[in-house]
Structure 1
Amino acid sequence: MTYAPIIKEIGRGAKGARPLDAAAAEAVFADMLDGKVPDLELGAIVMALRIKSEAADELLGFKRALDARTPQVAVLSGPRCVVLPTYNGARRQANLMPLVALLLARKGVPVLIHGRHDFESRTSPFELLAALDIHPVADATAAGAELAAGRIACLKLDTLLPGLDRLLALRLRMGVRGTAHTMAKLVDPCRGRSVRVVAVTHPEYLERMHHFLCADGGHAMLLRGTEGETYANPRRRPEMKVFEDGAARVAWPAEEGGAPPLADLPDCPGVADNAALIRAMLEGRSPVPAPVREQVETLAALAQA
């Protein structure tokens, strides 16, 4: 493939760029995932997409390329598997993503966690998961066995999708995130048997992801994440939308007002304190914040739908 014509289309800035159609987007992202794009052209494509943002057809094309390369994890009959991406880690607040996973597993819902961590200023979610005895497995087959045995499995992205992992690693060289970070939220290792949890940071992405999830189909929850992670802000409930085969509805409206600290929820982003807090909530010694409890209940119901 020659990349100059593509860069010419998408590289004209936020106002002058023209989006790719779905077929062209699928082809170029496939080459990006397969490591076929030379470094110079790859950097140009990454920055052009970042500046102009991804159009709806581009996202669908990128997703098709991603689906074609995503190993599938076996899910037993029964509830769908909730898929929790983790790509940020704790910064100031305790990371309650593992709490969501453990509460769902307690309800009999399988949970697959996938992610990558390369932020020196944040606490690694994989260190937190390890403190709770949740460890990454070697491949998709092992993940299926873990789901069958204990209802929770964890895969690092370099194991699940090495091509996407390489694209995410470009942030360390280029200084900014790119389209690959958006697509990492949409990885579906259990197609047809999943409930994806899609957490976004910027408000404009809520609308973009809404349209994408309606077009892409399947089951999903969309919410504004907490410090980039896939759990509802315990201090103020975000709007939580659920998607079932292209139909969207608001499961929980956003709470109004600010997000003051909670007396029962200390800021403890460190691994030991964060893990101890999650254990206390699981054992009933500390209350589970209402937004997290509502998120878990909604996901459990969606997994049964």
Structure 2
Amino acid sequence: MRVFRLCGCLFVLWSSLAHAAEPATLPSRDDGVSQRRIAVTIDDLPWQRLNEKAVAGLPDWHARLMAQLRRADVPVVGFVNEGKLEVDGVVQPERVQMLRDWRDAGYELGNHTYGHVDLHEVGLPAFKAEILKGERVLRPLLAERGAVPRWFRHPYLRAGRTPDDRAALAAFLDAHGYRVAPVTVDNGEWVWAFAYANVLARTASSDRDATLDRLRKGYVPYMLNKLDYYERQSQALLGHALPQVWLMHANELNAVAFADLVDGARRRGYRFVSLEEAMRDPAYRRGEEGYNGRFGPSWLHRWAMAEKKPKDFYAGEPSVPKWVMDLAGVDGE
């Protein structure tokens, strides 16, 4: 009897662990068209952290990321920090060419401010100046193909700490032809990417390749678990599967894992759509309402705060494992 009970307990434990390791299977309506839709946005073009450090083999990494994007074959809006086009104040033609590669591949380019500045630190007047400075190359680059920048993404997703500031910024953006690109599937992708870049920079060692492989293989299920979490949040808050907006960055990790991530989302029944299509959902008319804090949470959580949802509404969000944060050299997401 004791052996039978022990086996039963072990089976329950094994089943729990197995389900914990797999993202949940979520319901969707069977009407011939997937109700799960998602738009991809990629920040910090031409390359993440390029203003902080040299990226060894940057042309090769850029080519690998472009190859991943081609393989994935999804609409993308890339958001540019023009400060990363410069070295000692001089625009580098090879970095501008990286943007041309995005444009020529059919991806839309938006404004992410010149220097990736924090609105809550620099204040509204300086932030407006950063937006205009962030289109000095971008606007003529797009004009070569008869286009204009029309999407804006707040660095750190910090959109203003008062309704007045948010309204003033919205009026400024509208006057300059921009729409705000929200984020609903927020995540710690940047932590995984920092860890990956840090391991890449190591002198070759016996465990270097194994650690890179472990990061790549762990990154994809982490991101899919985040996707599942925010779909549940959408259902709980809005009563339907909101067309999501996914946040990622131009970095070495996505240069090796982006297409696998897209494949994983497709296996869950997601259809990849343009940012324009995703934002046709009426929920996006809420804008950034409901959040006056210093950080930059998902728009879904901003709307939940506007409805004064209890603390337990936000429970269950997947987090970056500590071993990844240790490799990234950060204390949290």
Give the TM-score of the pair, scaled to structure 2: 0.29
Which one has a larger percent helix, Structure 1 or Structure 2?
2
